[in-house]
Structure formats: C-alpha cells, structure tokens
Structure 1
C-alpha cells in the first residue's frame, strides 16, 4: 500500500470508522480534536499532505504558506469561506473541497425546530414549568396559515420550504439571488424582492451563504421594514447576515418579537454582551449545531474523505471548490 502522507483531522465529529478508512487508504492519520490557534495549526500542517478541516479553526494565508507539502483541504461542510482563505489556497496550489448536499436535511429540520420553538415559546415555557411558574402562559400563534419568508432558496432553504409548505401548511414566499420557477410551481410559493418580503412576513428564516454580498444584508434599514407587530426571526446561516445593531434594535423596538440564532457574534462585537443578556424567550442562541447529527456528520465524513483520497491520488472529484489557477 502506498504511503500517501500525513493527514491532519481537526474537530471531534468524524467517527473512528471513517478515520480507519483514511488509514486503509494509506494515510498517517493525525487527529487533533481541540481548537488550534494560528501558530498551532501552521505547525501541525507543516508536515501534512492533507487536512480534514472539521473544527472551528481558520486556515489563513500565513498557515497555508507554511504547509509546503499540503495538497488538499477537505472541508467538513459547505460554507468553507469562513474557515479557509480559499484565495490563498488557490495561489499556493492547494485544492479545497467541501461536502454539498450532506447536511441539507439536518440543517433544515433544525431550522424549522427553532422556528417552532420560538414561535410557540417552547423553551421558555418548559423552563417556567420546572420553576413552578406554569399557568400564566400567553397564547401564541400556529405556523399553519401564517406567512413565512425565506431569504435564500438554495438546497437548505428549499428543504425548509418543503417542510413548511407540505408539512406545516404555511403561506410561503422567498427572496433569492436567482428565482427558482421549478420550486415555485412545485410548492406553490412566490418570489418577492427583499423589501417586499420583509414587510410581508410574520416569520422569517435566513438561509444564505457567507459572502461579502450577504454580510450585513439585514441592517437597520431592513429592520425598519418589518411588521410593527413583531416577527419571529430564525438565522441558521452565518450570524453576519444580520448586523448586531439591527438585531438589537429590532428586538428593542418589537419589530422582531423573538429570534433564534445558531452560532452568534464573537465577544469582540460590542452588542454581544447586551444581546446574550436577553432571556431565551426573546433570543435563543445555540452553538452552531444545526448539522450536528449522526446522519449528517457520517455523510459529510464519507464525502470529505473520498475527496481527499481522490485529490491526493490525482483523480477527478466533483466536490472541488477551489483549485490552483494553473491547474
């Protein structure tokens, strides 16, 4: 069996059976489950042929420049842009792959779960019951028959629409960079421009990739368009899609009645402390766990590992997202 070199595996969600597959393929598997800082990551990658990025570290230009033997970064997920300097990787001749389609259902289910949790105030009412405060709960609203707006109709956004329309009987509209006539016809949903969608929706789900165009796409002017009666906002995309000031203003003004985020702003953001001091009935935050299921993580690992093997062996791979411009 050929020696394919050392592969660094970060994070803790790749099951041992999948790491064993890497070893059988000829790699020296080096798992490091803890979070690595830039210096540590650069040191670890200096001797690696491959890198399975399953943690929350960031592979910067400085890190990648030290990895002179590195051929491929296999990202465990879709939104690699927040974890890899893909431009630097391309310049350095390092291939980047991701795992499209493997987490679609898990993230969509979690998103709808957060929507139901906040729309019906399930977490806060459960906490009240345990604390002996049951019996004074306010009436909430169903999702069925009410207006749901989806920002971003990629694979996950489409799956959210399917669950919401076919399973929960919501009245659904969407905004996306490109219209999806087939999905509109199949599900009976309608396209609206962003301002129209914001003023129309009672519930709003954000499901856009992290790009320069989507960062801050919901700011103070957009919050001002929301219904004065207050909406339920769910963001399982990157938190940067909503500016912290806009979220704080929306919650303070009541235009956002309640919100849920999966992943949140860093401690360096001025509004973070004030936002996280709000009760979960107003703002529910989870730690970027929407895809944290056995089903999604196993599928992601299988896809990612196969891509790593393909690239190192010089074979074609359908999940390459960034390659050297001379390749």
Structure 2
C-alpha cells in the first residue's frame, strides 16, 4: 500500500511507521508541505496522513485518483477536510478525538496564571534591569481564591480547566454554551449562565468552545465592554471566536485587565501586530497540545486509522 505522510511524526510513532510494510512517501521538513509538492506526491496513493495545514479538497482528491481509501488527520478539528467530497467518493476519514484535553487545559491554566500575575511584565523587568529592592506595590497581580470563573464552552477541555481551578480556590464557576451540562453542574458545581451575566460577573473568562457560525466573533467590543475592567481573558480554542481588532481596541481603552492568547487570526500572527505591544497581553504560538505525550498519542491514533483501513478493519477513530 502506498501512503503519503505530510510531516515527520513524533519519534516513537515515526519509528513504528517506518517498520510497517508500506510504500512510504513522506515530507520530512519542519514546515507545511507546499501545495504543488502535495498535489504531485498524492498521485496514486492509497492513504493520506495529513495535518491541519494540509487542505484536502476536490482538487487534491482528483490528483490522488480513485484508489484512495482513507484520509486521516492528526488533529481534533477537521475544517481542512472537504467532508462532503470525501463522502461522495466513499473515502474513509479519521481524526484524533479526546486526546488533547489535559494538555490544552494545562496550558489554559498557565495562561490564566501568567496573565493574572503579570508574568510578561515580570520577565521583562528582570531582563531589563528594572528589578531593584523589594517593593510592596510593584507588579501586583490577582489570585484565584474567592473569585468567579466564566467558561464559554463547558466541554471536555472546559470542564478540565474548571476542575483544575477549583484546586486554586475558585469559588464560583459560571458557564455558557448551547446546552446545559447537568453532570458537570453536579461534579464541579458549575452554574449555567447567560452570556451577558457571565461577562458581567466573572473575574476570569476562558474560551473553550469550538468555532461555529454561532461563536464566530462572539467576543467583540460590546462583549469586552461588559466585562469587569479587571477581568483576565484567555482564549485557547480558535482565534475566530474573538473579533481581534475589537480586542485591540478593548485593551487600548482599558476594558479588560489582562489577556492570554494561544490562538489568533491569522496564524502565525505577524510580528508587528499590536497585540504584542501590550504589556498585559501574552501571545503564544498555538501550542495547546504541544506535549510529547499528546503529540505521540495524536500521531499514533492517526496512523492507527490508516493501518486499520488498509488492512480491511473498521476505522477506530472515524469522522
């Protein structure tokens, strides 16, 4: 079987891949496979192992040919796959669900802590010689104990974030989403809230929702204006949930206390973007799932999808 893999995989999964009896075509450079290279390499393959950076559309599927059996993406999201076109051609699809909850929740906590405790300013102060004697009013941040957390999207990641923050002393958890999460209300004491009430009452707000037509640009200037001016706002979901120009304006106008972002629009965010200039805004390069354990699991699941299909077995993590 001929398999195209569009990037080098984490070490253990890469080794396992190379041990398989496959005709392997693999892009091993540490960058996205160029579109023309992808269209050329996909010809005649039976399986495609892809990433979020690879657009699997009609043009690519035409280039691959009718023998293509399966496309497996090393991601939880699959916006880059033309689902309708794949279904029309009876091509099986795989992804990697439920494997990055802990890693992304951990990073969300890191951003909440870092923004709340002014870590960006502290690092700069130490590096630039501003660190002098101990000062009782210097670089004062806020702490979690006795505060209210607002979670937009109380799915697996949102619940994991809320559960972790209870250990830090958060006393009230508000959540907003499409439907109530009754089990989470029981397990972590979360309260279903309107969006406006969540914005009004939360000391910390984190987005853990998917990007949908309903959530696109939901955090606009009006939303930021309804927050407490001291609120800490973190997004580790998708950049499109935030109207980014409005966030810049809100920071300029003092509508939000501190911000932590792991996702932006576009990605990568240009180095001259205004968001980098705010001392109370931390921007990370979309590394929510970037632990060795999680990336190995993602790669292994994506590869398992391919091996199952080409061996005539049911796809274990199908879309």
TM-score (norm 2): 0.89
1:197 to 2:195 alignment: no
Q: Mind listing any 5+ residue stretches in structure 1 that lack a counterpart? A: 322-327
Deviation at 1:292, TM superposition (A): 0.8
Q: Is the 8 A contact 2:5 2:49 kept in 1?
A: yes
Superposed CA offset, 1:161-190 (max 9, x none): 110113443421111212111111111121
d(CA) in 1 for partners of 2:303, 2:273: 41
Q: Which of 90, 100, 103 is equivalent to 2:100?
A: 103
Where 1:150 maps in the other structure, the secondary structure is strand
Equivalent of 1:59, from 52, 56, 59?
A: 56
Q: Secondary structure at the match of 2:131?
A: coil
SS of structure 2 residue aligned to 1:224: helix
For residues 201 and 15 of structure 1, do their structure 2 counterparts lie closer, same or farther at Cα, with a shift above 3 Å needed? same
For residues 241-288 of structure 1, give each alpha carbon's deviation from its aligned partner in whole angstroms, at most 9, with x where no partner exists: 10112212221221222211113222899x994424423x32211111
Q: Contact between 2:151 and 2:175, CA under 8 Å: does it hold in 1?
A: yes
Unmatched runs of 5 consecutive residues or more in structure 2: none
**Residue 185 of structure 2 aligns with which residue?**
184
Query: Is 1:35–1:55's contact at 8 Å kept on the other side of the alignment?
Result: no
Work out whether residues 276 and 283 of structure 2, in 8 Å CA contact, stay in contact via their aligned partners in 1: no
Q: CA deviation at 1:30?
A: 2.5
Aligned to 1:275: 274
Task: Give the aligned CA root-mean-square deviation in angstroms.
Answer: 2.3
Query: Which residue of structure 1 aligns with residue 308 of structure 2?
Result: 310
Name the structure 2 match of 1:250: 250
After alignment, is 134-143 or 96-105 more displaced? 134-143
Task: Give the paired residue count.
Answer: 312
On the 8 A contact 1:9/1:31 being kept in 2, the answer is yes
**1-structure distance, mates of 2:268, 2:188:** 42
Question: Would the alpha carbon gap of residues 319 and 183 (structure 1) be closer, same or farther in structure 2, given more than 3 Å must change?
Answer: same
3-state SS, counterpart of residue 282 of structure 2: strand
Once the two structures are overlaid, the 10-residue window that deviates more, 170-179 or 285-294, is 170-179
Change (3 A) 1:111 1:182: same
For 2:267 and 2:6, the matched residues in 1 are separated by: 23
